[in-house]
Chains A and B, each alone.
Chain A
Amino acid sequence: MNHFLSTEDVSRQDLTDLLDDADSFVEVLARPIPKVPALRGKTVATMFFEPSTRTKLSFEKAAKALSADTMSFSPGTSALKKGESLKDTVLTVQAMGTDAMVVRHQATGAPWRIAEWVDQPVLNAGDGAHQHPTQALLDALTIRQRFGTLDGVRIGIVGDIRHSRVARSDVFAFSTLGAEVTMVGPRTLLPIAAEDWPASATEDLDHVISELDVVYLLRVQAERGGASVFPSLSEYTKRFGMTRERFARLKPDSVVLHPGPMNRGVEIAAEVADDERSLILKQVSNGVAVRMAVLFRLMGGEHSE
């Protein structure tokens, strides 16, 4: 593995190895001194061409917990404003002596282009509506901690699958790890070629809800056109929201995940979000551990292939 760009081309063994390493980093992060010297002297550049709070902070915390230095980049204040091309920007950053780049970009495929230009590992922190592979890893880790495995676990991903990079990354990662994945949403928000995805699809949440071990609620993404394809937010909540009534119909050991940021009262009721079976904050803390695992895998030690 030279880059970490997508969950579509990662083997079950590689995913499992990364989750195993992430378990070790969970333990590191619980220590009195939650820091190890593994990447001392290395520099990680976080290049977020699109706004982000949690993913950027999470990657920076992960790099620092491995003793790497971080350099960050925000488009609002950069030379991009002066018309510098993407390629010139990344080559400039590389020339300053970085050892890996974490990239988020609004354009699908941008991290792949960057990976061709630079001679260091590139980590995709979200490209357009395409992939967000470290999110899928942290979701998988959270589910594995709860159930011990993903093999045979029934996971429903609910909401705007079509415009969600989280959903795409999750579906492929979960199914590679052996989970039974169901995509739930209005037809307008299910993938266009849903039959090509390793998951089943339904428009009826109430029909499947009592069989699910994990209900993964996606954020209603107004900024990606999500709100224009269903009549109203209250209509969405009525059919696909995790209301208190639906939550009561879940199996007693089922859990709720959400990638954040949440729209309380839309896709998730406030009481559900704060319930102990909602693992949303666990996901956030696991995010640091899985990003440490990926950084360590790509930057620590020589590449075996």
Chain B
Amino acid sequence: MDPGDIDRALTRIAHEILERNRGAEDVVLVGIHTRGAPLAKRLAAAIETIEGETMPTGILDIGLYRDDLDTRPKTELGRTAVPEIDGATVVLVDDVLYTGRTIRAALDALADLGRPARVQLAALVDRGHRELPIRPDYVGKNLPTAPGERVTVHVVEIDGHDGVVIETGGT
């Protein structure tokens, strides 16, 4: 995906979110730390352009909710800042949807922060290989991959440029 593809995908998802929820009312966009957060901000900006309404956004760090803390290398904890979600429709936003374990952790984390009326899932890339019964509501691009491959999303806000890279082999 090049920067134009990413822009178009996010604009389409913004339309889909508005269509599915009949507008922007009571919808909160929550990006998963790290790269989900800027994507949530961009979706909010796109929605504002379309609808003229500012959608609240938040950032959710799921580092303390992972089920693989014992086996994965340690990363710095991020900050969680989520607006009021009780009774709202929360759209979780992540860059790559893969096994679904991140989303499982995010759902647990959300439940500790409040009780949303419903939770939907938006992913820029769905690369398949789910290990849990989790499916996205909004997808930027389905990207069939082999389990050994690595899919990395780059965003301007963090990496200095937009793009999706597939690397083969390695770990």
Contact = CB atoms under 8 A, between A and B. Distances in A.
Contact of A301 (B65, B74, B113): B74
A85 interface: no
A38 B64 contact: yes
A21 B112 contact: no
Interface in A115-146: none
A183 to B, nearest CB: 33
Contact of B80 (A24, A300, A304): A24
Interface residues of B, number: 21
Interface stretch (A29-37, A72-80, A217-225): A29-37
B108 A301 contact: no
Contacts of A27: 79-81
Contacts of B76: 17, 20-21
Q: Which of A32, A37, A296 has the most CB of B within 10 A?
A: A37
Interface residues of A, number: 22
Given A24-B61, A38-B64, A304 B79 contact: no
A300 B61 CA distance: 15
A14 interface: no
B49 to A, nearest CB: 31
Contacts of B77: 20-21, 24-25, 296
A23 B61 CA distance: 13
Given A28-B64, A31-B113, A302 B72 contact: yes
Interface of A: 17, 20-21, 23-25, 27-28, 31-33, 35-38, 66, 296-297, 300-302, 304
Given A21-B76, A28-B64, A304-B74, 12 more contacts: A20-B77, A24-B61, A24-B77, A25-B77, A32-B114, A35-B112, A36-B64, A36-B65, A36-B112, A37-B65, A297-B74, A301-B70
Interface of B: 61, 63-65, 69-74, 76-81, 108-109, 112-114
